[in-house]
Amino acid sequence: MFMLKIVFMGTPDFAAAPLRKLLASEHRVTAVYTRAPKPKGRGQVLQKSPVHELAEAHNIPVYTPKSLKRDEKLQEEFANLDMDIAVVAAYGLILPKRVLEAPRFGCLNIHASLLPDWRGAAPIQYAIWKGDTKSGVTIMQMDEGLDTGAMLLKGEVPITLDTTAQTLHDALAETGGDLLLETLKHVEVGTLKPEKQDDAASTFAPMLTKEDGKIDWAKPAAEIDCQVRALNPWPGTYTYKRDGKRLKILKGHVENGRYIIDLLQPDGSKPMAWKDALNGKIVTEGEEFT
pLDDT per position as a tens digit, 77-117: 999 999 999 999 999 999 999 999 999 999 999 999 999 99
Q: What is the residue type of 266?
A: P
How far, in Å, CA of 4 to CA of 80, rounded?
16
φ/ψ region of 274 (left if φ > 0, alpha if ψ in -120 to 50, else beta) reads alpha
Rounded CA-CA distance 16/90 in Å is 10
pTM of the model: 0.95
pLDDT in tens, 175-190: 999 999 999 999 988 8
Q: Residues spanned by CATH 3.10.25.10 within the chain?
A: 210-279
Report whether 215 contacts 241 (CB < 8 A). no
Q: What is the mean pLDDT of the chain?
A: 97
Q: pLDDT grade, residue 40 (50/70/90)?
A: confident
Superfamily of segment(s) 210-279:
Formyl transferase, C-terminal domain (3.10.25.10)
User: What integer pLDDT is reported at residue 238 of this predicted model?
Assistant: 99
Report d(CA 123, CA 204) in Å as an integer: 8
Interatomic CA distance for residues 244 and 214, integer angstroms: 13
Query: Distance from CA of residue 25 to its chain's centroid?
Result: 23
> Is 74 a residue whose pLDDT tops 80?
yes
Assign domain 5-204 to a CATH class.
alpha beta
Domain with CATH 3.40.50.170 in the chain: 5-204
Report d(CA 241, CA 218) in Å as an integer. Answer: 15
What percent of the chain has pLDDT above 90? 94
Q: Lowest-pLDDT range, 147-156, 172-181, 184-193, 240-249?
A: 184-193
From the list 217, 263, 213, the residue with the least C-alpha distance to 236 is 213
Strand ranges (DSSP E) for the chain?
5-10, 28-33, 38-40, 45-47, 62-63, 85-89, 107-111, 119-120, 134-141, 151-158, 204-205, 237-240, 246-255, 258-266, 272-273
Helices (H), 111-214: 123-129, 165-187
Report the alpha-carbon distance of residue 269 to residue 264 in Å, rounded.
10
